[in-house]
Structure 1
């Protein structure tokens, strides 16, 4: 006899409490194996494929593509054969919202878990999802027989039964007692449309109210008495028009929605855009920032880069980018001015100077602005920093960055010159203490050795937290950066 287990959205780590469904990788009725990715979700940190700890037949999916789910909300249900491959027990699945750290990925390990309500044993995948324990090892593994399971379990969730209403009846009083709803999404959907769940009869097992029941009731209310209503739900009283939704929208999608009768478009602040909005708002609220800037002659820096990249033979290595050279200059400057590689502990009222430089750099992707982090940048040369920047940039554009690669920065380098602009006043990447902005490098008239000449000029701007240092320190830091840009030989003294 198959056993239906519910897989809930696991804790994806890094303090994340919700995720947006980007793409379902399975359909209802599909047979899935243990640890097979079943859905692609987007968090505020990265895109993640979530593996299912159970093996069997998918009997239901919860949430459409583009919708957000909180941690602990049901993702899907899987019918498994007792004694065959199944990820974890019902007891482990029920603890999906439990605490823990780490991603939805695979830290290998073993432990113990109950076998659920069945009499047989279930196997563990051996991989740990936060909130899902691993089952006890068994002597042998048997594969799921898709035909047997599919025959025992219907391919799709039953739709709420409907009956035509001959005449509108008064709304009955709420039935006392608990409401047969387990899904937070169903409760939220009913709350948004002012539906009393006590007046609904669920079409699920033991009268469980499903999302289909609520959606059917919403449609019935919107269409009035001419539409069939779900079983157990009363029509509005005679002469009383159904209350419309608060904001009628048309063409709703995950990218945005247009309100009827106007040209306004509403774009949800979630995912990467929501995380950026939260972080920048917090930075502006908490950090008393100031900005200073300077124009620098980058002609010698560009000549040095060309010389590095023209080397042939055994000494030749990968091409060195301008961003890699500027990053190496930043690490040298932070060694001289460690005040800017720090953070502020508001509760303890302390400035915390950090021993290592984890250098973040702003990268524009289709998903929005992200800041990958080059860890231990103070111990890397320009070639090593450049290689890591290239790797992280490629991963960012492909949406493969992990939360660990997007957090923990101590200083950020922002090259907005790629957008064709000269200057900017960057907003500090909270909780860091400073950010260096770099404009485009363009030919400009410049006084060089007492004569007017055309030189490659760049504007550098430094936004810093005025709590960690004063203008003299910030100015010294920026001036050292400019000196290294104008005379790269200055940097040799610190190598």
Structure 2
């Protein structure tokens, strides 16, 4: 007899307690293999494809796209049809659940071999079961479909009746497109996508929103009174258009996580900000020389952000107080030996801060390559929690938005953040004469508990000196 196993939303790590269903990758009746991704979810930190530890036929799905589920809530059920599959694949799946999921208990028994369960080797957001992949025989779809047909029928009868158009995945990749559609009450299944393979783009949703708005703003016909027995001299009054409704946006997902972290930073950290203008002309010239080099000295292009990041690591080596955190329970300042450098990146999902690990051991070229990789992953929404956490210092280049200065909010639980404005030509006194130079404003927000203004000022002045005289960095190489 086929056995039905329940797969629950696993713990995705880093303290995450819930996730939003973005896109189902399977439908009821589909045959899935062990470790096959079955659903795409969005956490407060990243987009994640969740693999199922069972192989069989999907008999039920729990939760519509756009719904938030807590960790441990049922995701789907899978009917495992044959004895051979229940004896090998299900043991592998049970091992994966016990090791990587924890809360994903099956609704049936795992068979007589459950005591010899092996992990499937499946990986969830960088957290694996730690065991080699179990050997298993390949199961043909036609072998699975017949034995599990009864369970599919039962599950379909037990679930609420849902129209066919409301089931299955929607051809949408961007969470921003989904959010935009939800805010304006659009049914994405009714839209025809203009992207590849019918992919629904943001332009498609915006076009549909404009069409709805034009329909709502069309002139309403004047209200005509019922024919009366006697003529009336009352004027016809046009119907008053309804007032626009107040828009309410749920503070959840990445926006909610950012809000919580920033609020906690303001509540817990007594921060202070200092800033300085620096002449970045020599830094820009040095970068141009690096990127125009030929022969053995040639290499990948180096970005301004990579140079600033390298300057930060050199400054933190001189002022380690700013590469620390405060342990409130122990009443201690914890100075950290490694520099895990976060950098602010604006994406369609909002502001994220990917982390360059062990930046103190990297040169500008290596830091730049890692920044480029993380930025590209961030744009696709595929950053893992491990790539978004653990930072010890953050570099925020808000100059890309065309602004000169800001007072950054510290990325809790770090101790400081360096903000960089745009680099623009300005009048500047250079070598005793007025000249047009490339000027940038640097802002340092720091936790006043870990150091005083002298240390913070020394750090910022060293950064400015390196910007103005890049040769200063040669001492650190």
The aligned residue for residue 335 of structure 2 is 353
The alpha carbon displacement at 1:270 in A equals: 1.6
- Choose which of 95, 98, 121 in structure 2 pairs with 1:127: 121
Picking from 408, 415, 439, the partner of 2:397 is: 415
Task: Choose which of 348, 370, 374 in structure 2 pairs with 1:366.
Answer: 348
- Partner of 1:348, secondary structure, is coil
Residue 147 of structure 2 aligns with which residue? 149
Alignment of 1:31-70 (within 5 A): 31-70=31-70
In the alignment, what sits opposite 1:339? Answer: 321
- Alpha-carbon separation, structure 1, partners of 2:82 and 2:111: 7
Alpha-carbon distance in structure 1 between the residues aligned to 2:471 and 2:131: 61
Q: Cα gap change, 1:420/1:115 in structure 2, threshold over 3 Å: closer, same or farther?
A: same
> Which of 277, 287, 294 matches 2:276?
294
**SS of 1:268 mapped into structure 2:** coil
- Secondary structure of the residue aligned to 1:364 is strand
Residue aligning to 2:167: none
Distance 1:61 1:328 in 2: 49
Query: Structure 2 vs 1, CA of residues 58 and 155 (structure 1 numbering), >3 Å: closer, same or farther?
Result: farther
Q: Does 1:85 align with 2:88?
A: no
The CA distance in 2 between the partners of 1:477 and 1:295, in whole Å, is 14
Q: Which SS does the other structure have where 2:147 is aligned?
A: helix
Contact 2:280 2:438 (C-alpha < 8 Å) held by counterparts:
yes
Conserved 8 A contact 1:2-1:149: yes
Whole-Å separation in 1 of the counterparts to 2:82 and 2:112: 8
Task: Tell me the CA shift for residue 431 of structure 1.
Answer: 0.3
> Which residue of structure 2 lines up, in the alignment, with residue 280 of structure 1?
262
Q: Which has the higher contact order (CA 8 A, sep 6+)?
A: 2
Give the counterpart of 1:116 among 99, 109, 122. Answer: 109
- What secondary structure sits across from 1:85 in the alignment? helix
**Is the contact between residue 56 and residue 79 of structure 1 (CA under 8 Å) also seen in structure 2?**
yes
Q: Please say if residues 59 and 79 of structure 1, whose CA atoms lie closer than 8 Å, have aligned partners that are also in contact.
A: yes
Structure 2 CA distance for partners of 1:92 and 1:124, relative to 1, 3 Å: closer
Question: Which sections of structure 1, spanning at least 5 residues, go unmatched?
Answer: 105-112, 160-203, 205-209, 216-248
CA distance change for structure 1 residues 140 and 384 in 2, over 3 Å: closer, same or farther?
closer
Partner of 1:476: 458
Match of 2:366 among 364, 380, 384: 384
TM-score normalised by the chain length of structure 1: 0.73
Match of 2:185 among 237, 243, 251: 251
| C-alpha distance in 2 between matches for 1:137 and 1:303 | 53
Contact 1:72/1:96, CA 8 A, preserved across alignment: no
Which whole-Å CA distance do the structure 2 matches of 1:409 and 1:132 have between them? 22
Structure number with the higher helix fraction is 2
What is the DSSP-based 3-state SS (H/G/I as helix, E as strand, rest coil) of the residue aligned with 1:435? strand
Q: Deviations over 1:263-286 (max 9, x none)?
A: 211111222111111111111110
Q: Secondary structure at the match of 1:66?
A: coil
* 1:314 Cα deviation from its structure 2 partner: 2.0
Number of residue-to-residue matches in the alignment = 400
**Shift of the alpha carbon at 1:414?**
0.3
Q: Per-residue displacement from partner, 1:154-199 (whole Å, max 9, x unpaired)? A: 357345xxxxxxxxxxxxxxxxxxxxxxxxxxxxxxxxxxxxxxxx
Does the CA contact (< 8 Å) of 1:362 and 1:413 recur in 2? yes
Matched-pair contact (CA < 8 Å) for 1:83–1:123: no
Which SS does the other structure have where 2:404 is aligned? Answer: coil
Distance 1:117 1:411, change over 3 A: closer
Q: TM-score, normalised by structure 2?
A: 0.76
Q: Distance in 2 between matches of 1:447 and 1:388?
A: 37
Question: Match of 2:236?
Answer: none
Partner of 2:238: none
- The Cα of 1:149 is off from its aligned counterpart by 2.8
**Is the deviation greater in 483-492 or in 126-135?**
126-135
Gaps of 5+ in 2: 163-182, 189-201, 203-241
Maintained 8 Å contact 1:422/1:458: yes
Shift of 1:82: 3.8
Instruction: Give the equivalent residue in structure 2 for 1:164.
Output: none
Residue 119 to residue 134, structure 1, CA distance change in 2 (3 Å): farther
- SS of the counterpart of 2:476? coil
Which one is further off, 10-19 or 261-270?
261-270
Whole-angstrom distance in 2 between the partners of 1:380 and 1:94: 38
Query: Does the 8 A contact of 1:418 with 1:440 survive in 2?
Result: yes
> What are the equivalent positions in structure 2 for 1:253-272 lying under 5 Å apart?
262-272=244-254
1:56/1:49 Cα in 2 relative to 1: closer, same or farther (>3 Å)? same
Q: Is the alpha carbon distance of 1:118 and 1:389 closer, same or farther for their aligned partners in structure 2, counting shifts above 3 Å?
A: closer
Contact 1:54/1:85 (CA < 8 Å) preserved in 2? no
1:420/1:79 CA distance change after superposition, 3 Å: same
Between the aligned partners of 1:449 and 1:250, the Cα distance in structure 2 is 59
Alignment CA distance shift 1:296-1:355 (3 Å): same
TM-fit CA distance, 1:125 = 6.2
- Deviations 1:239-260, CA, capped at 9 Å, x for gaps: xxxxxxxxxx9828899xxxx9
Using the TM superposition, give the Cα deviation of residue 447 of structure 1 relative to its aligned residue in structure 2, in angstroms. Answer: 1.0
Distance 2:133 2:400 in 1: 54
Equivalent residue, structure 1, for 2:302: 320
Task: Find the residue that maps to 1:284 and give its secondary structure.
Answer: helix
> Displacement, 1:27?
0.8
